Structure 1
Amino acid sequence: MSKLAIDGGKPVRSSPFPRRMAYGLEEAQQVIEALNSQDLFFATGKKVYRFLSEFKELYGVKHATASTSGTSAIHVALGALNLEPGDEVITTPISDMGTVAPILLQNCIPVFADVELGTCNLDPNDVERKITERTRAIIVVHCWGQPANMERFLEISKKYNLRLIEDCAQAHLARYKGRLAGTIGDMGAFSLQQSKHMTCGDGGITITNDEELGKRADLFVDKGCDWTEDRRYRLKYSFLAPCYRMTELQGAVLIAQIKKLRWVVERRQKLGDRLTELLKDVDGVHPPERAKDVDHRYWGYPLRIDREKGLSRDRFVEALSAEGIPAGTAWPGKPLYLYDMLRNHITYGTSGYPFTAKEGRMVEYHEGLCPNAERVEEEMCTIWINEFYSESDIDDISEAVHKVALHLPRR
């Protein structure tokens, strides 16, 4: 291979990679229908209800609640659980803040457990170590598109009588030993944000097979308001809740999107698996580990650059980018507990609530809390792929990674 592009050599790739074209005429036709109806309110429209019906059928669940974002979908799930102030919810430090903010918005305390180096998913053994008398729920994030060890999490939740929420924002139609992620725990939450496998720009879905949780989710998404009763003469508000209603425009886009979803996830899995096979023997580079009997839907492609082999992650990313590869550093940048909002308890004014609540306990976040998560965030190189890439595009990425790993100076 030739001299590195970052040092003046010829790059592996000089043409741009395919742009993801998520929307087409199908979405446009559905949106026009919604506009022509002159009714974009979900409760009196048809698009959101139709999408929810199709989503329930796809996932084989009894209840699905539409909302405005993946963050709101998590909040809806927590709201349905009816937790008390000061209750603790264990989750991962490698996720979007949208996994954690709803915990605080319900006046509960986020407790972080470490992750597995190979998958970036929550380590069930560390989760069990973090359980206290105040623990009420676990939010498992299926990181990058691969379901976590749900068999163990089911055992733990049953043993300690905890509720189990699956954050499936990055794992649409991903199966764990034959079961769809999102249907294994008590509730599943999905993001429909622009970068996700199925998208309407932003949106969320919360699913469950539990009758009571499903009813509370439907109430929680709309100010606690019960739409099953005749509201022409009076309103009924059951409990305090936000307003996260999805609009008919979002529902219209999603009716078209859901028809494409299976192709999207299967194509991404094929491409991601191909890249993993091509990179499996590169010294100092760790492709994502794929668990047996588990899908990987590759929201992105996480590549760990091993500092113990003398490689600098930042320099590796710079070199890959110079070779024309869409590479970046870690997502979300650092473990969530090291961001100021959590580390300094910047929540409701200057109160520090719910960390200062008499009902709970003061939880401190600091470096060293989750060593694997901190290492992952320091070593992770993110390569962005999408379903419109060709096998040749994947081969170019592989060639560039091999080239950089071979020629980049090591400490």
Structure 2
Amino acid sequence: MQNQDFSRRKFIKAAAITTAAAGLGVTPGMSGAKETLAVLGGSAVRQGRIGPSWPYIDDKVIESVLKTVKSGVWSRIQSATGTVPTFEQHFAKLVGAPYCVGTGSGTQALSTCVEAMNLGPGDEVITSPYTDFGTISAILTSRALPVLVDVDPLSFQLDPGEVEKHINANTRAIMPVHIMGLPANMERIMAIAKKHNLKVIEDACQAPFSRYQGKAVGLIGDLGTFSFQASKAIACGEGGAVVGSDEKLMNECFTVQNRGASKQGKNERIGPKYRMNEFEGAVLLGQLDGAKERFEIRNANANYLASKLKDFPGLKPQKQYEGTESGAYYNFAMSYDKEFFNGADRAKFLKAINAEGVPFTSYIKNGLHREPWVDNIIRLKAYTKFFSPQRLKSYKEGMQLKNTDLITDQTMVVMWGSGTLLAERSELDKIVDAIHKVHENRDKLKTI
């Protein structure tokens, strides 16, 4: 077995070479006698929270909210210079977008895009099964059909080869998800979209400021969306934004989120009220100045962790596509290989590593192809009227996605990144120490 060949000595040697090359010195706790796992009664490698508390709060954020409370301007329609329009301008500049429209959530941002593109009954939108349900919900809200295709098992992103296999006469758009905050394979996706004359909506809800092949994520497709939910890198509880370069299409987005009323005040089309409120705008404005700096810290720390794990096959950091320049790292994601942990399944590893004070999780429990909504929608009038029985039957049968099942059931391990990846390097070293400790006690994992 490869596992037996990968000794602690080799593991330590690889990590030491990596850290020495980076001028960081040898990680503490890398030598000495074998320690008992905390889950079996030993001492934990570390205790307490890793990184700062989250969401981000400082005096500037508080002052911004108080100023808004006292102003009496609590809705964006009260002032053209309120916190929401001001945030839209500042965020657009930070991202490099010509236009930005704020919404009440990332899901609302996606729904705004779907509706602005006039996607609806009879239309199909190809997207990922490995995402938050908000991605799917945004398509269902307009009664279009979300077509789920399998993902790459190491990048966790849409597999472009699978995307092309599922294009038919009803396909109108592709919605790639930049999962974990790292860019999807947009070069291939955009080539497929161009070949088949399809729209592209980027679900960049986890990926603000990420860059790919010289472009900001969210500005590669026709429209891009971001989320400012409480766990995100830029947070206001809930909140979202749409960005784009096409002025006409972005005006449609504004009209949709403004319950169908255009900037000229005319009631022009179907649209829910998805407006971001002034309090959300105030919280966001209060933290924008340092958002890019925190983004850079997360990138540096994610790269540091990846370098420590580079020669350790038991946990492989998320695969990145050629041309990936940076990522938002909503999660630092890894693939778990039980063969390097004496055959112990992921649940055993997670129990052991959490006992050492390292908050790794399996993240999304089920691919969205295995959730009840599938059986629900294929019985609804909106779908039975616009799709043939044969299409709905093949749609249901197509929910066999082996790579997604592998990720959710066996291999995915993540560490939340928004706050955790702002930690001091000494804390990151302890994460690595804990991984080493669990690995050297791998023969004990099946007893947990």
TM-score with structure 1 setting the length: 0.93
Equivalences for 1:206-221 in 2 at 5 Å? 206-221=242-257
340, 352, 356: which one pairs with 1:323? Answer: 356
Asked if the contact 1:275–1:394 (Cα under 8 Å) also holds between the matched residues in 2, the reply is: yes
Q: Does 1:55 align with 2:91?
A: yes
372, 387, 390: which one pairs with 1:340? Answer: 372
Asked if the contact 1:368–1:374 (Cα under 8 Å) also holds between the matched residues in 2, the reply is: no
Q: Does 1:101 align with 2:137?
A: yes
Q: For 1:138-170, what per-residue CA distance to the aligned partner results, in whole angstroms no more than 9, with x for missing partners?
A: 001111111011111110010000000111111
Point out where structure 1 has 5 or more consecutive residues left out of the alignment: 230-235
179, 187, 205: which one pairs with 1:169? Answer: 205
Q: For 1:197-216, what per-residue CA distance to the aligned partner results, in whole angstroms no more than 9, with x for missing partners?
A: 11111101011111221111
Inter-partner Cα distance in structure 2 for 1:271 and 1:353 = 50
Q: Does 1:274 align with 2:304?
A: yes
Q: For 1:82-121, what per-residue CA distance to the aligned partner results, in whole angstroms no more than 9, with x for missing partners?
A: 1131200000011100000011111100111111122111
Asked if the contact 1:109–1:354 (Cα under 8 Å) also holds between the matched residues in 2, the reply is: no
Q: Does 1:130 align with 2:166?
A: yes
SS of structure 2 residue aligned to 1:240: coil
Equivalences for 1:1-80 in 2 at 5 Å? 1-21=34-54, 22-45=56-79, 46-80=82-116
Aligned to 2:386: 358
- Displacement of 1:226 in angstroms is 2.1
Aligned to 1:305: 336
Inter-partner Cα distance in structure 2 for 1:15 and 1:49 = 39
> Aligned-pair RMSD on alpha carbons?
1.8
Between 180-189 and 84-93, the greater mean CA deviation after superposition: 84-93
Inter-partner Cα distance in structure 2 for 1:228 and 1:202 = 27
Aligned to 1:286: 316
Asked if the contact 1:284–1:311 (Cα under 8 Å) also holds between the matched residues in 2, the reply is: no
Asked if the contact 1:52–1:64 (Cα under 8 Å) also holds between the matched residues in 2, the reply is: yes
Count of aligned pairs: 400
Inter-partner Cα distance in structure 1 for 2:360 and 2:385 = 43
Inter-partner Cα distance in structure 1 for 2:213 and 2:344 = 36
SS of structure 1 residue aligned to 2:194: helix
The 3 A distance-change label for structure 1 pair 69 and 15 is closer
Aligned to 2:281: 251
The 3 A distance-change label for structure 1 pair 391 and 37 is same
Q: For 1:297-329, what per-residue CA distance to the aligned partner results, in whole angstroms no more than 9, with x for missing partners?
A: 211111221245523111110000111111222
Asked if the contact 2:96–2:216 (Cα under 8 Å) also holds between the matched residues in 1, the reply is: no
Between 363-372 and 47-56, the greater mean CA deviation after superposition: 363-372
Supply the AA of the counterpart residue of 2:333: P
Point out where structure 2 has 5 or more consecutive residues left out of the alignment: 1-33
User: Percent same amino acid among aligned pairs?
Assistant: 33
Inter-partner Cα distance in structure 1 for 2:318 and 2:254 = 37
SS of structure 1 residue aligned to 2:290: helix
- Displacement of 1:367 in angstroms is 8.6
Inter-partner Cα distance in structure 1 for 2:98 and 2:313 = 48
Question: Which structure shows the higher helix fraction?
Answer: 2
- Displacement of 1:355 in angstroms is 3.3
SS of structure 2 residue aligned to 1:171: coil
Asked if the contact 1:283–1:405 (Cα under 8 Å) also holds between the matched residues in 2, the reply is: no
The 3 A distance-change label for structure 1 pair 397 and 76 is same
379, 387, 393: which one pairs with 2:427? Answer: 393
Structure index of larger Rg: 2
- Displacement of 1:28 in angstroms is 1.1
The 3 A distance-change label for structure 1 pair 390 and 283 is same
Q: For 1:329-383, what per-residue CA distance to the aligned partner results, in whole angstroms no more than 9, with x for missing partners?
A: 2x221111101122x2258xxx524432334631544696221111111221222
